[in-house]
Amino acid sequence: MVKKRKQQKSESPAPSHGLEIPEDEQWRLIQESGVLNQIPLEKPPGGSTAFQPPPADVEDGDEVSSLPDEIFNAILYIVPFSFCLLMMEILIHHQYGKQPGLKVLVDRMVSGVPIMSIFIFYTMRYKNHRRMQFFLFILSCFAGSRMLYMLARVGFIKNMKQCPPLATLWIYTIVQLDLGPAVLNLIFVGAYVWWKDLKLFR
């Protein structure tokens, strides 16, 4: 009898000393127990440890552009439009049979590029705002109609001074405008030319 009891004890499985719980169940138990809320956290100066969601006006993946990015994006426009201003200066002289000298071109670029750079930087920063779009639309209507009027009615001396910056400004505003205002601007300038009966091609 004693031997049988010893054999039964030896054959019986050893009791498990630990209970295995899935990891997700462990986290659920920890959260329900409130242990994490009892751990003291360092509070930032003037703030709280509570989780603060991101602002509602900032969508996921939509990051606020930094100043270096804005400067880089502005340079991508400043360089080609500086060459556009230079090309318009050369073309307006050749239109009236003049040969622009190096001093004339340098004077135009030195006086025009810094102002144009500041203008491009700030208009690109706020170009998605409705007020900026409205401002660019009004500016494009003025630049386009004024340039075409001068080419048709004003003498060559004023044209050589004012037409290159006006042409560059008109092209830039059209590029920065949304499609609808840009098309509306072209319609407005075309209607102005028809209303004034400007003879551009003689």
Q: What is the DSSP-derived secondary structure letter of residue 177?
A: S
Residue 81 has, within 13 A of its CA and on its CB side, a CA count of 27
Positive or negative: CA dihedral 37, 40, 44, 47: positive
CB atoms within 10 A of CB 110: 9
pTM above 0.85, yes or no: no
**Are 136 and 127 contacting, i.e. CB atoms less than 8 angstroms apart?**
yes
The 10s digit of each residue's pLDDT in 114-153 is: 999 999 999 999 999 999 999 999 999 999 999 999 999 9
| Helix, coil or strand: residue 178 | coil
The 10s digit of each residue's pLDDT in 41-80 is: 555 555 554 445 445 444 443 445 689 999 999 999 999 9
Distance of CA 143 to CAs 15, 78, 188, 192, Å?
91, 19, 12, 12
